[in-house]
Each structure stands twice: as C-alpha cells, then as structure tokens.
Structure 1
Amino acid sequence: MIGDGKSELLRETLNLLPNPVCIRSRDRAWVEVNEAFCRFTGQPRSALIGRRDFDGLPKDQAEMFGKLDRRVLESRSNHASTEQIADAAGDARWMEVAASFAEDANGSAFTICILTDVTEAKQQAAELETAQQAALNASKSKTEFLANMSHEIRTPMNGVLGMSQVLRRTALDEEQVEIVEMIERSGEALLTVINDILDFSKIEAGKLAIDSEPFSLSAVLDDVAALLGSGANEKGIELITDISRDVPDEVVGDAGRIRQILTNLVGNAIKFTAKGHVLVRIAGSGENGYAHLAITVDDTGVGIPEDKLETVFHHFEQADASTTRQYGGTGLGLSICRSLVKAMAGEIGVTSTFGVGSTFRVELTLPIADDEPRLFLEPVERADLSHLRALVIDDISLNCRISASQLALYGIQSDHEMDPREGLRRLADAYNRREPYDLLVLDFQMPGIDGLRVARMIRSKPAFKRLKIVVVSSVDSDEVRDAFLKTGVSAFLVKPLCSGVLGETVTQAFRGTERRKPATAPRPAQAGPAPAVRSGMSLSAGRILIAEDNEVNQRVVAGLLRTSGYELHFASNGQEAVELFRQNAYALVLMDVSMPVMDGLAATRVIRDFESSGGRPPTPIIAVTAHAMTEERRDFLTRGVDAVLTKPLDKAELLETVERWARRTVHRVA
C-alpha cells in the first residue's frame, strides 16, 4: 500500500488535506509529506523524502517526531499530544499532533502524523482562564468588602440603637420619650435598608447560603407575627395568622431565610394597607417524607397595577417608582425574596387587583423532620374541654374562623357572630333555652358597639355571671387592658395571637374542669435548648466576661445588662480577655470577634485549650459580631463559640441568650 509504488496517488491524496501530514517508516525514513507540511516546516519535499534522520528540522522538532515514532511503533497504537512547534517563519505555534500506526500488505510498519493548529483555541482558553481568575479575585474582593462594610456599618448602628434602648430606661419626660422613639424607628429603618443592600450584594456575589436544620413552622410564623404585629396595630389593621392542621410543623430547612421572606412580604403588606387586614396562611400537606407548603400573604391594600405585576420582583423596581412615592423603600425586598425562594427550589408569584389588594404566594417543598423523641420535652397534651360551648364575636369573619379552629383543638364547639348586637342576642337566647354559652371570645374594635361596651353590658347582667370572657384586641394599651380587666374578663390577649395561645388561655380560665387527653394532631415544640428564664431573673453573683474594644459598645452592653443581676468584667482585647478568664470563673463570655492585639476567635481558641488542659470545665462563649454573612456565622460556630449574636444588639435577644447559656453553666456545676 504505502510502499507498493503508488506514491504519486498517495501524494495527490495527501495534498488535498489542509493540515500538515507526514508519513515515516519503521527505519525512520520519510516516506511522504504533503504540501501543507512543507509550508509549515519550510522544508521542500525533496529534502525530506527518503532521508532517515531529522536533519534540516530544528532540534526540538526532531526530538518530538522521533519520540512519537518510537511510541507509536512500539505500542502499535495511536497517540496524540499538543506541542509548541516553530513554523517556517520561526513563530511558535501550538499544534495538536495525532500519530497513528499503519501497516501495508507487505507487513511494513509506518507512522502517520497529522498536525492541527490550535494556537487560537489555546489563546482563548488562556484568556478565559485569566478572566475566570480575575472574576474569582473580584468576587473575593467583593465578599471581603461586604464583610468589612457589614462590620463598619453595624458597629456604629449598635451604638445608636443600643444606647437609645438604654436611654429609654432613664427618667424621661413625654417629649424626650417621643424623641428616643423616633431615633429608634429611624435607626431600625436604616438597618432595614442596610440589610437589603447587603443581602442584594451577597446574591450578586454568589454568596447566598441556605442552611438545612430542623425547625418549627409555627414558631417562625409566631416570630414574624410578634415582630410585625405592633406595626399593624398602630395602623389600625388586623394581622391574622393561620396555619393548617394538615401541615407538618417540624420540617428541615433554613428557618432564618423563611422568616426573612415572611417578614418582607408581611411588612410590605402592612406598609401598603391602610385599612382592613393582612392574612398570613400556611397550608399544605405531608407526603412521602416531604411537606408541600403553600404560604400566602393576602392584604386589602392599594394593590398593584396589572402592568407592574411582572416587574415587582426585579431589582430596584417598585409599583410606584416616582421620586414622590408615598411608601419609600429600596425596591430590593421582593427581589431578595425571589432569590431566596429560588435558592430553596421553590416558586413565588403574585396576583393583585389595583385598589383592592394583593396576594403573594410562596410554594416550597421541605423534608419533614424525624420524629425522634426530644429528651428535654414532656409529652404534648391538650385539655379536653369538649363539654364547653363558646361564642366568638368578631367583625372579621377570618378571625372568627381561626378562633373556632384553635378552640376545636381542645374539643370546644363554637358559634360566631360578626355583629356585636347579634352576638348579645345570641347569648340571651342560649341562656333562655337553658343552653348557655360557657365562653365568649370577644374582639375589641368593632363597628357600632366596641368590645369594652359589650363586656360591660354582659357583666351588668347576673345571668352571665359564670360566662368566661377572653378579649382578643388589636390595641395593645395598658389603659384598654385595665378597663377590660375591671369588668371581670378572664384574659386580655393582643393580636396577632401566637400558635396555641388562645387554647392555653382558655384552659387556664377553666382550670379544674378539664380532662387531659393527648392532642389528636399535636404540634411538637420547636427543637432547641432548655427554655430561658424570664428577663430579669438571673444567677446571684454570676459573672460575665465581656470582650469588646469599642468603648461605646461596652457602654451599650453594660446598659442592656444593667438590671440583669450579673457582675460584668470588661476586656478591651482578646489578650486581656484570656488573662481575666484564667483569673476568674465566669457564667459565660461575650466575645467580640474583631479586636486588636488578639481577635475574638484567637482568644476563644486559647480559652478552649486552657479548658481542655484541665484548667476548667467548658464555659459558654457567645460571639458578638458585626459580620452578618451567614457563612461567617457558621464558621464561628465551628471554631469554639457556642452561639452568635449580631450587632446591633437587641435587648430581648441579648438577655434571652445570656440567661439561656448561663443556666446551662449553673446546671452543669450543680
């Protein structure tokens, strides 16, 4: 074939190929080359054919071809490599060299090499790699910038909000209280903007992290209702929460991110609703180990124009984007919600009628948490109050239905009336039929006759002396509360009600008449540490070590913990904290992360080494940081700290965390 005298036909065939091609025999002789090979090497065909060496080619090319020949002929197989080879002009080109083994009819062996110029592809790959590395470096710089910005912004914000909380507890006149409240509201509004911008930047930098831990859906809903309920009450609108009994309560996911989504959606609904209600409902079901959740936030607010529905989830977009818009905001909240939902493989959407209201819907599928026993929890039971009859009077039908649903968990059958006058008639009719109601769940703000007047009218009638009255009010006022309690009501509750609060309150009102039974559909309590003691109750002579380099922040912590009963020791850097720790026993340590001389994490490591060497049993260490990135908080928990508090510090959260971990120290010592 190759050596059978048909070289002319072979040469013509090879010359049709655009790539350089050469054929060599086992004895290293050049058998054939095409014109493309001659142009590339700068060698004429006559200088190559029949020669048994690599004379005429550069040394590096000669060595490359020789090595390739030996490898192919010895293995009788194909080989390929990418080599940098100088062309006839002396320019280095990246060539892909594909060598294959061939044998003719006489048994003679040959090497066939085809060269392909891949210089441009190589250059593009190198440019792409350089660009990728630059992007990675930029992302790293952006992440570091975000972390530093978070720290630099939150540290002074901790001073502003913290000291305003401290100032609140001093002797202030009415005008000064109003000024402090304005400072707090302005600081909280600024913090919301800061959080939105930081979250948006984290998303843009690809640093959005989603945790996966067991948590209680009802607890998250209660947290959101407690946080935003006062804002709704101040506007005179109802914040109503409802969670279906078919929804598994204990699921696995990122409770913080779900709380953030709900807070954003509910906060928006309250902001854009002037009258009526905001309803937060969690429906769904559990199937094959997964909870399929449909979370809706429904309001009776201003609504969204139809042409804006597609853009409300875009960055910096709002339904009213004019500079004189009434409601303000960054335009990032819904965009962040969409990114969070997407990161959890869920969906988010909105329907709205302009001027009537909006409904935002979030669909998520989360694993159901294992039903393993929680050793620190008692078996969940509910009182059997099935012998009681209740009447609910509330001008909002949703509230009536939700109250009836909560009462039904305790076996209580209930009726409802939206008109207080009709409710009074119903109470009288039931009494006259000798089927009196045992319980009245009464709203405060209603048209025509408010709840306080209804309560007074009822208590003026001896026939209703035994009727228990539980007031559910959207007005959280000491004056209103005292007025109701003077009428002889059993309890005064403030909307929105947390899960189970109504049933537990009714149980207390009828204490001694109930029968205990297991709940038919119990909601397990949220997994976590032992419950905290009330704020203000603490260990006598308990010591807390506070490592904080910022003098203002030292005063903030001192002010927030002033009435807690602890003896406070301060250190201005990590080295001082380590020395004080070695000299004294502490109930716990509040450790700032960023400090001079020795930072908080380094100090924590030294303290843990001291403890493990026999110096002392483990002491709870709470990291206090202005770094709000989720991955940073998670990293802190792997480096010796027990919990993380983010600046600016909230008094209630600080006290709850301090006393919860301090109690562990006491129990361990005991």
Structure 2
Amino acid sequence: MLDKVTKLLLVEDDEDDYILTCDYLQQLDSHTFNVEWISSPEQAIEKLSKNEHDICLLDYRLGASNGLSVLKKAIANGFSGPIIMLTGQSNDELDSAALDAGAVDYLIKTEMSSSRFARAIRYALARKDVEGERVERLKAEAENRSKDRFLAHLSHELRTPLSSILGYTELLLQSDFSHQAENELGVIYRNGKHLLSLLNDVLDLSKIAADKLELTLSEVNLDSMLADVYTLMRVSVLDKGLTLRFESQEPLPLVAKLDATRVRQILINLINNAVKFTDKGEIVVKAWTQWVDDTEMLFFSIKDSGMGIAPEKQELIFKPFEQIADVESRSVGGAGLGLAICAELLNRMHGRIDLHSEIGKGSTFTISVYPGDISEVERQTLNFTSAPQLQSKSAPCKVQGRVLVVDDLRDLRMLVGHMISTCGARVDYAEHGQQALEKVRIAEAYKAPYDIIFIDIHMPIMGGKEATIELRKMGYKGPIIALTAATMKGIHEELAALGFNDVIPKPVDSSALYQCLQDYLIAPECAPQAKNIASDKVLTVKKQRFLLVEDDHDAAQITQLLLESLGVETVIASSCAQCLQILNHDQQFNKVLLDMHLPDGRGVDLGQQINDRYPELRLVIVSGAEPDPKQIKDLNIDRVLLKPINLSLLETLISS
C-alpha cells in the first residue's frame, strides 16, 4: 500500500535554507512530503487561508516582516493544520511568543539535522490526526443530534394527525352511528394503528442505530408468554382462514431470563409476516433448547406454507427498508423494518435469526436467544394450545369494587386494567409506589377506599416492596397483590412477610388474574346496594375541568370531545398568549395539558411561566415525541402523554 503524501508548505525567504530543509525532509522515512515553497508573507497568508496543506514550516524572519503576523493571520483565516516556527537562533521570548500565537512547536534551524526535527514533524502530524478524528467525532455527534431532532419532529408531526384519526374513529365506534358503518370504521381504526406501529418501528430502529435501545431482562414464565402470543395472533390467523399451531416436542425450562417485551415483539412480527405471505395452510411455531458451543440457547422456529422467498432476496430482507414483496405491486404493505429490527434485537440478546425458504413451498425463520443459566431450572413439555386454557382466558369472572393498578410500564398497566374492568370492577392507576400512596390517602379521605391493589415490585421513585410496607403502616388492610417477573424459590415467603397477600407472575396470565379477583372481591349479586350508591356519590362529587393548550385544531377538537365524553369540561387555548390570558381570569382547572410546540413559543417555556404565576396548577405535557428529561426536570410536571391520545390514556389521566 502506498504511503499517504503529506502536503507541506514551507514559508522561507532564503533559497539555501529551502534546499537544506527539503533535503532533511527527504531523509524522514515516516512520511512522503509534497513540498510547496513560498517566500513572501502575503503569498503565505493567501495559501494558508485556503487550508489545503497538512503542515506548515514558517520562518520567523521574512525580509522586513516577521512570521508571527503570518501565523496569527493564517489561524484567524481558518488554517487548521499544525505550524512549526523556524528561526536562526535560540530565543526563549520568541519561543513563548510563537507558541502563544498558535504554533505547535519552535525549532532552531541548526537542529534540523538532528532527531528533534523528525520528532517535531511526527508529533505535529500525529496531533493533527488526533484533532481531525476529534472534529469528525464531533461532526458525527452533531449529525446524530440533528437526526434525533428530526425524528422527534417527525414523530410529533405524525402523531398529532394520528390522534385525530384514531380518536374520532374511536368515538364513532362507540356511538349510535357505528352499526351503520362498523366495518368501514374498523378498517380506518386498524390502518391508523398500523401507521402508528410503523412509526414506532422507525423510532426503534433509530434507537438501535444510536445504541440507545436498552434491554430489560427478567425471569419470564415461558408457558405464559407463549400462551399470550398464541392468544393474540390466533384471531388474525383465523381471519385469513389459516391454522396456527404451537409445538414443543421436548421439555422446556419453565422460566428463562429474557426481555419478555422484545421477545414477544420478535415472535409477533415473524408470525405476522407469515400470515401476510400465506394464503392457505398453516403456521407452526416450535420451541426447543440446543447447545451452541458451551452455551444452552433457546430456539423458536416459525414455519409457514406461503409463497416463499427467492434466494437472491433472502439476505436483503434483513436490511432496513427492504421488502419481500415487489414494491411496485404493493401486494404486501409495510416499511420493511420489522426483520431488520428483529435481527438487531436478537444480536443484542446474544442470538441470531436464520431463514430457510423455497419458492412456492413456504419459509421457516429460526431465532435463538440466550435464556440465562437454565441448567438447574425445572422443565416440562408445554401445551400452548389447550382448549380449556383458552376458554378460561376468554371467560372473565364478574366482580365489583375499586381496584388500583400500579406499574411503571404503561402498556402493562393498561392491559391489566382492561382485564379487570371487563370483570366489572372500577380501575384506577398509578405509575409508581409514591403515587400509589397518595391515591390511597385521597381515596381514604373520600371514604371510597380501594378494595384491592395490584402493584409491580420494581419501579422507579418507589418500588412495590417499599410501597407495601408504607401502605401497611398507614393502616391499609385490603389485599395487596404483587406483580413480578421474579419467580425464584422463596419469593412468596419474602413478599408475604412484607405484607403482600398474593403473587401473580409476569407476563400476567389472565386466568390467574381472574382467579385472584374472584378470591378477593365480591360478586355483584352479593354486594350490599347501599355501598354501591355511596361509592358512586363519592366518586362524582366534583366535575373536573381541564385547560388544553394545542395549536392543531383537529387534535384539539378530538381531545376535547374525548375528555367531555368522560365528563371533563375542557377549555381550549391555541397559543401561549391565549393560555396565559385565560389563566389571568380563571385558574379553576384540575390540570393544564400543554403541547410542546406552539406557534408563539415552546410548551416547556409556557409551563415555566405557569409554574411561576400559578404554582398550584398541575401540568401535563402532551407531545408527539418523547421530551428531553432535562427540559422538563425543573417543571412541576404531573405526567407526560405521548400522542396519539385515546380514551384509555385520558381515563388514566382523569383518575390520577
């Protein structure tokens, strides 16, 4: 490989010194130099200002001028390379002056035949390379920040109209008009959800590229997780007239250490793809363990009887934005991100994804993940598709009472809350233990205590264990149920000693949840009527009022309609100025909902002004992108809602 040629500018008005310097440079084995000789200060400044040279040797004496003025002007005009000052005699004062002006070194011409000259050249060029790498790194970081800002803006711009699409559709589906166009509304709602999932895929991929995607490992019940996936995917498979089978031909560990959310995401993505490209036949999901080198890995395969994938496309589909189907025909939708995300996630789980496919015969995707040390874990053959299990999941019990669900993961909160509400109980939510304590205090003060509390063990601010200890100190006597992925030996005894009544393992199995509700809550026919009436009176004491600050007219209107359908009086402001004008005359609002991007300012700045003027008002950020935690850290923010806004999100907001 040829050495890189170093472009050197020699500014020297003595021809003999020029010849000697070139001779010394040729003796340096470490670099090959392309020397350009300039003798006048004016030419030197002109050349250096173009910043085309890797290094400059600059004589201190240039006729009537001195090199210091050339040095200062060159640096001021943008020369970024190293400059070494040359002089005929040693002078500490000149040495200091040259270094202060920006030179990287100072050499006496008599030293040019020594090793010091070679060392000075090498060090100067090495520093230039290091500085160049630093500048490139800073540029890359700036580009990443710019990309993050763009994605945040894109997220906001897409989520705002999606709020209107999904919100209005949700309202219409619940209205008297739904029976006239239920199928059409369903199509709109499903496609809106599909757009939202594509947006989430893009954001996931950007997090992976920026190395910002974190895995959350926990002890996962495999049977429960796979049963959840089966139940979720069974409907879409049946809708297309296909058959879905889950198989395990060997005993599997009952528990594995995984990121359950991400493994579920991968399995659902692969099964969805199988459904897309299969018109008849079946989809079979198999699970097994296998030793790879010295590690026992957990494997899943997803086999379909679909169209198959051409050999030349089998490598492409794992790259972002590549699709299996012909883009022009658009026979299958999607952004081509799912498989790329699966491959990246599996790589972070010390696993991989493989594909075997034949045109017309179908495809088999095989994935592997590291399940932690499962050598001592109990194993059994799992039966994911048993009819009794599915029947118990789809037939919830009927109970009555007030339930508090506490979990920092919104999706899990809403899932558990939805399952409980289908049984007839009234559900309230909290994001962490501290918020749960406050809700319990308020409920007790209004004589409407919670009949049961479901609480996650590991949460920020305050975990479930600490919260339960405090709840028992406060005098709460109702049942407290732990939601935990930790199922190791002795966990039940430990939690019971802290004040828990029962444990439901994660992922939450609906049959276990329903059984728990039956054990601790009373059925409607057994409930005294007076208690129900009194409870209703307490819960409808005061109608809530919200101030919504949103400049997008459609988004503001649908949010107002959704809130008012839940009994919340809603006032709309479309700008910072209008918001402050309203608050100047009326501060009787339970919450102020702030959009992050307003025509006359930022929601963060408006929030600061509201905090300063009306500190008693509770603020909620409503944003199309995750706000920077640093921006809202000092604000009195109640919570952050990510668009699109829907009824379930607003229900949790009202109850908090």
Residue 645 of structure 2 corresponds to 649
1:246 equivalent among 244, 249, 253: 253
| 3-state SS of paired residue (1:561) | helix
Q: What is aligned with 2:343?
A: 338
What is the match of residue 10 of structure 1?
Answer: none
Q: State the match for 2:322 in structure 1.
A: 317
Matched, 1:594 2:593: no
Equivalent residues of 1:241, 1:280 under 8 A apart: yes
Contact preservation (8 Å) 1:275, 1:301? yes
Letter in 1 for 2:623: T
CA 576–235 in structure 1, closer or farther in 2 if over 3 Å, else same = same
1:493 maps to none
- Preserved CA contact (<8 Å) 1:164 1:183: yes
CA distance in 1, matches of 2:341, 2:303: 19
Residue by residue, what CA displacement relative to the aligned partner does 1:403-451 show, whole Å, maximum 9, x if unpaired?
Answer: 55976xxxxxxxxxxxxxxxxxxxxxxxxxxxxxxxxx88xxxxxxxxx
- Residue-by-residue CA offset, 1:326-370 (whole Å, 9 max, x unaligned): 3233322211222233344443333445524423424144699xx
State the alpha-carbon separation in 2 of the partners of residues 586 and 283 from structure 1: 56
Task: Judge conservation of contact 2:301–2:364 (CA < 8 Å) in 1.
Answer: no
The answer on 1:156 being equivalent to 2:161 is yes
- Alignment deviations for residues 494-538 of structure 1 (CA, whole Å, 9 cap, x no partner): xxxx99x99xx9xxxxxxxxxxxx9999752569xx9999xxx99
Q: 2:567 aligns with which of 565, 581, 589?
A: 565
Aligned residue number for residue 524 of structure 1 = 505
- Structure 2 equivalent of residue 182 of structure 1: 187
Deviations 1:452-487 (A, max 9, x none): xxxxxxxxxxxxxxxxxx7989xxxxxxxxxxxxxx
Task: Tell me if 1:83 matches 2:105.
Answer: yes
Letter in 1 for 2:641: L
Q: Does 1:117 align with 2:99?
A: no
Residue of structure 1 in register with 2:137 after alignment = 132
- SS across alignment from 2:140: helix
Distance in 2 (alpha carbons) for counterparts of 1:336 and 1:625: 25
Q: Distance between the aligned counterparts of 2:149 and 2:590, measured in 1?
A: 34
**Contact 2:351–2:367 (CA under 8 A) maintained in structure 1:** no
Q: Secondary structure at the match of 1:312?
A: helix
SS in 2 for 1:117: helix
Task: Confirm whether residue 210 of structure 1 aligns to residue 214 of structure 2.
Answer: yes
Matches of 2:550 and 2:369, distance apart in 1: 43
Q: 1:359 is matched with which residue?
A: 365
Which residue in the other structure is 1:142 paired with? 147
Per-residue deviation, residues 116-141 of structure 1 (Å, max 9, x unmatched): 52355455444444433333333322
Cα displacement (A) at 1:179? 3.5
Shift of 1:555: 1.6
User: Which letter maps to 1:599?
Assistant: R
Q: Is the alpha carbon distance of 1:595 and 1:97 closer, same or farther for their aligned partners in structure 2, counting shifts above 3 Å? A: farther
**Residues 1:17 and 1:552: Cα distance change in structure 2 (over 3 Å):** closer
Matched to 2:598, the amino acid is M
Which of the pair has more CA radius of gyration?
Answer: 1
Aligned counterparts, 1:1-150, within 5 A: 18=27, 62-63=90-91, 83-85=105-107, 115-118=119-122, 120-150=125-155
Structure 1 window deviating more from structure 2 (194-203 vs 134-143): it is 194-203
Output the amino acid matched with 1:600.
Answer: G
Deviation for aligned residue 1:634:
9.5
Instruction: Give the alignment of 1:159-558 within 5 angstroms.
Output: 159-172=164-177, 176-201=181-206, 203-204=208-209, 206=210, 208-210=212-214, 212=216, 228-239=233-244, 246-248=253-255, 253=259, 255=261, 257-278=262-283, 293-306=298-311, 308-321=313-326, 323-324=328-329, 326-352=331-357, 354=359, 355-365=361-371, 401-404=383-386, 524-525=505-506, 539-540=539-540, 541-558=543-560
- Opposite residue 341 of structure 2, the aligned amino acid is I
Q: Tell me if structure 1 keeps the 8 A contact 2:167–2:562.
A: yes
State the distance in 1 between where 2:595 and 2:231 align: 29
* Alpha carbons 1:41, 1:87 under 8 Å: kept: no
Cα RMSD, aligned residues only: 5.7
**Structure 1 position 253, deviation (Å):** 4.5
Is contact 1:303-1:358 (8 Å) kept?
Answer: no
Q: Which amino acid aligns with 1:83?
A: D
Which segments of 5 or more consecutive residues in structure 1 lack a partner in the other structure?
1-14, 21-38, 44-56, 69-80, 100-112, 369-397, 408-440, 443-469, 474-497, 506-517, 665-670
Question: What SS does structure 2 have at the residue aligned with 1:623?
Answer: strand
Q: Which one-letter code corresponds to 2:91 in the other structure?
A: E
Deviation at 1:543, TM superposition (A): 3.7
Indicate how the Cα distance of structure 1 residues 549 and 641 shifts in structure 2: closer, same or farther if over 3 A, else same. Answer: same
Against the structure 1 CA distance between its residues 176 and 633, is the aligned structure 2 distance closer, same or farther, given a 3 Å change threshold?
A: farther
SS at match of 2:253: coil
Q: Which runs of 5+ in 2 are unaligned?
A: 1-23, 30-56, 62-84, 97-102, 375-380, 396-414, 423-481, 490-502, 522-535
8 Å contact from structure 1 (residues 351, 359) kept in 2? yes
Cα distance in structure 2, aligned partners of 1:282 and 1:638: 48
Normalising to structure 1: TM-score of the pair? Answer: 0.51
Residue aligning to 2:35:
none
CA positional deviation for 1:278: 4.0
Deviation digits for residues 182-215 of structure 1, max 9, x if unmatched? 33344344444444445445555x2642254769
Cα separation, 2, equivalents of 1:129 and 1:187:
44
Inter-partner Cα distance in structure 1 for 2:232 and 2:630: 24
Q: How far apart, CA to CA, are the structure 2 residues paired with 1:523 and 1:284?
A: 26
Q: Retained in 1: the 8 A contact 2:546–2:589?
A: yes
Length, aligned pairs only: 438
Change (3 A) 1:143 1:85: farther
The equivalent residue for 2:653 is 658
> Given the alignment, which residue of 623, 626, 630 partners 2:624?
626
C-alpha separation in 2, matches of 1:201 and 1:18 = 50
Identity of aligned residues (%): 25
How far does residue 655 in structure 1 lie from its aligned partner after superposition? 4.3
Query: SS at the partner of 2:269?
Result: helix
The residue type equivalent to 2:340 in the other structure is S
For residue 64 of structure 1, report the CA deviation from its aligned partner.
Answer: 5.8
Q: For 1:283 and 1:301, locate their aligned partners in 2 and report how far apart those are by CA, in whole Å.
A: 23
CA separation of 1:40 and 1:570: change in aligned 2, threshold 3 A: closer
Q: 1:590 to 1:264 in 2, by over 3 A?
A: farther
Q: Kindly indicate whether the alpha-carbon contact (under 8 Å) linking 2:86 and 2:109 is maintained by their aligned counterparts in 1.
A: no
Q: Taking structure 1 as reference, are residues 282 and 565 closer, same or farther at Cα in structure 2, changes over 3 Å only?
A: farther
Supply the distance in 2 between the matched residues of 1:609 and 1:647 (Cα, whole angstroms).
Answer: 27
**What do the CA deviations read for 1:235-273 (whole angstroms, capped 9, x no partner)?**
133456689973437x67583x54543442232122123
Per-residue deviation, residues 296-324 of structure 1 (Å, max 9, x unmatched): 44444334345544332123333444633
Structure 1 SS opposite 2:136: helix
Q: SS state of the match for residue 361, structure 1?
A: strand
Q: Tell me if the contact between 1:247 and 1:291 (Cα under 8 Å) persists in the aligned partners.
A: no
Distance in 2 (alpha carbons) for counterparts of 1:656 and 1:163: 16
Alignment check: 8 A CA contact 1:40 1:87 kept: no
Larger % of helix: which? 2
Q: Secondary structure at the match of 2:336?
A: coil
Q: How far did residue 144 of structure 1 move?
A: 1.7
Distance 1:86 1:297, change over 3 A: farther
Query: Contact 1:545 / 1:581 at 8 angstroms: preserved in 2?
Result: no
Q: Is the 8 A contact 2:299 2:369 kept in 1?
A: yes
Shift of 1:552: 1.0
- Contact 1:312–1:318 under 8 Å retained in 2: yes
Q: State the one-letter code of the partner of 2:185.
A: V
Once residues 633 and 125 of structure 1 are traced to their aligned partners in structure 2, the CA distance between those partners, rounded to angstroms, is 33
